[in-house]
């Protein structure tokens, strides 16, 4: 039996416009094992969050899964009924969003929102669920949990609200945690605390983590592997250390090259950060050929005419680029 918690096979997510499907995410393959943290990176509009929403069964029209399989512990999410999906979410799949104030219900106490997980997925009564909610708040290091359990979201700081979101997400010991920019709205000190908390709790439970982030420094620090998306394609995947020390795809090189580094001006004669020219194309503007070709500094004639296939890298990992075909 495979030890993969998540297995995505040839996933295509389509945008339906006037009865016609336009691929927004195409041919994605990705696995995450127990206790593994995999980063998913790329600019806004590359398909990271769409991929995550499809894994959680949260895509809404006009987006839909048009091809492929999404297996969570062997169950194909794309083919489950709505009832089965609701049972799976919160129990085996959990998700942390980047803005807890919009994710939490402002009209319910945090204790009721955490306790709801135990009622729905563990069949606890109201008194037992409240007790479990206090224990969950203790677990994520909310001080005075027995007192704060009756607070409403607006009474908590941003960092405390994010801890509540983590408590909800991990209440039922999920097999897979999807963290979509979980620290974006927090200051740097709180960011580090939240990330360390997520990792500590997941290590205890062996939870697999899909970490979506624009913060490449964070990804380098916490992830075992990194997958890079561009315009709906997964264009490179390697061990985290290799992808930052030796990126292969021109787009990945551009992302890594844009990272601020101490002493860059002295060692490289650069006062400003490098940048990737151009912007990510809109879904309806995806054309033939490599989607990064219009922005690529190493573009070749056939890059605009044909789409590169995914190939294996000699030292491990995968890439979608004619330079390595």
pLDDT tens figures, 210-237: 999 988 888 999 999 999 999 999 999 9
Contacting residues for 297 by C-beta, under 8 A, at least 6 apart? 250
9, β-bridge pairs: 69
Number of domains in the chain: 2
**Cα 245 to chain center, whole Å?**
22
Query: Comparing C-alpha atoms, which of 81, 85, 67, 147 is closest to residue 110?
Result: 147
Is residue 16 located within the same domain as residue 48? yes
Is residue 121 located within the same domain as residue 220? no
The single-letter DSSP state of residue 5 is E
Q: Could you give the angle at which helices 158-170 and 110-122 cross, rounded to 10 degrees? A: 10
C-alpha span between 119 and 136 (Å, rounded):
14
- Residue where one domain finishes, among candidates 149, 173, 197: 173
* Six-digit token string for 115: 């306790």
**Contact between residue 276 and residue 294 where contact means Cβ atoms under 8 Å apart:** no
Is residue 53 located within the same domain as residue 191? yes
Is residue 86 located within the same domain as residue 178? yes
Count CB-CB contacts under 10 A for residue 82: 8
Burial class (CB in 10 A: 0-12, 13-18, 19+), 234: buried
Helices and strands: H and E segment counts in the chain:
12, 12
Do the domain assignments include residue 324? no
Is residue 60 located within the same domain as residue 182? yes
Is residue 165 located within the same domain as residue 231? no
Q: What is the residue-wise DSSP string for 229-256?
A: EETTEEEEEEEHHHHHHS--SHHHHHHH
Query: Comparing C-alpha atoms, which of 56, 10, 49 is closest to residue 29?
Result: 10
* Six-digit token string for 74: 């062997």
C-alpha span between 161 and 148 (Å, rounded):
11
Do the domain assignments include residue 319? no
Do the domain assignments include residue 278? no
235: domain CATH number? 3.40.50.300
**Contact between residue 80 and residue 56 where contact means Cβ atoms under 8 Å apart:** no
Instruction: Give, in degrees to the nearest 5, the angle at Cα 292 between 289 and 293.
Output: 60
Full-model pTM = 0.91
Do the domain assignments include residue 325? no
pLDDT 10s per residue in the chain (325 long)? Answer: 458 999 999 999 999 999 999 999 999 999 999 999 999 999 999 999 999 999 999 999 999 999 999 999 999 998 888 889 988 988 999 998 877 778 899 999 999 999 999 999 999 999 999 999 999 999 898 999 999 999 999 999 988 998 999 999 989 999 999 999 888 767 788 888 888 888 888 888 899 999 999 888 889 999 999 999 999 999 999 999 999 999 999 999 999 988 876 655 556 655 567 789 999 999 999 988 999 999 999 999 999 889 999 999 988 899 999 998 6
- Residue where one domain finishes, among candidates 259, 283, 308: 259
**Predicted confidence (pLDDT) per residue in 153-189, tens digit:** 999 998 899 899 999 998 999 999 999 988 876 778 8
- Residue where one domain finishes, among candidates 259, 288, 307: 259
Is residue 72 located within the same domain as residue 221? yes
Is residue 166 located within the same domain as residue 210? no
Is residue 84 located within the same domain as residue 178? yes
The pLDDT value recorded for residue 266 is 52
Do the domain assignments include residue 303? no
C-alpha span between 251 and 236 (Å, rounded):
9
C-alpha span between 85 and 28 (Å, rounded):
21
212, β-bridge pairs: 40, 180
Is residue 106 located within the same domain as residue 152? yes
Do the domain assignments include residue 269? no
Instruction: Give, in degrees to the nearest 5, the angle at Cα 207 between 202 and 211.
Output: 80
Do the domain assignments include residue 285? no
Do the domain assignments include residue 251? yes
Domain of residue 139 covers: 100-173
Is residue 167 located within the same domain as residue 180? no
C-alpha span between 166 and 72 (Å, rounded):
20
Is residue 126 located within the same domain as residue 55? no
């Amino acid at each position: 039996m495979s030890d993969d918690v998540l297995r995505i096979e040839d996933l295509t997510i389509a945008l339906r416009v006037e009865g016609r499907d336009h691929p927004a995410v195409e041919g994605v393959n990705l696995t995450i094992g127990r206790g593994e943290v995999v980063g998913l990176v790329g600019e806004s509009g590359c398909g990271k969050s769409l991929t995550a929403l499809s894994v959680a069964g949260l895509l809404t029209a006009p987006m839909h899964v048009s091809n492929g399989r999404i297996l969570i512990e062997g169950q194909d999410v794309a083919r489950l009924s709505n009832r089965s999906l609701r049972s799976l979410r919160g129990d085996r799949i959990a998700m942390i969003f980047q803005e807890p104030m919009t994710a939490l219900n402002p009209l319910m106490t945090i204790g009721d929102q955490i306790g709801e997980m135990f009622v729905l997925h563990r069949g606890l009564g109201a008194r037992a669920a409240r007790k479990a909610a206090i224990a969950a708040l203790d677990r994520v290091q909310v001080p005075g949990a027995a007192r704060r359990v009756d607070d409403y979201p607006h009474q908590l700081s941003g960092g405390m609200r994010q801890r509540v979101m983590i408590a909800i997400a991990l209440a039922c010991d999920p097999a897979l945690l999807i963290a979509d920019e979980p620290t974006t709205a927090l200051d740097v000190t709180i960011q580090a605390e939240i990330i360390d908390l997520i990792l500590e709790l997941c290590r205890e439970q062996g939870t697999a983590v899909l970490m979506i982030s624009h913060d490449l420094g964070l990804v380098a620090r916490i992830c075992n592997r990194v997958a890079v998306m561009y315009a709906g394609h997964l264009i490179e995947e390697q061990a985290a250390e290799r992808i930052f020390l030796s990126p292969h795809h021109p787009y990945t090189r551009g992302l890594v090259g844009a990272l601020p580094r101490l002493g860059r001006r002295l060692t490289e004669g650069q006062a400003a950060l490098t940048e990737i020219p151009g912007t990510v194309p809109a879904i309806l503007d995806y054309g033939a050929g490599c989607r990064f070709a219009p922005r690529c500094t190493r573009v070749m004639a056939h890059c605009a005419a044909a789409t590169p296939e995914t190939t294996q890298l000699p030292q491990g990992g995968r890439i979608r680029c004619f330079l390595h075909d």
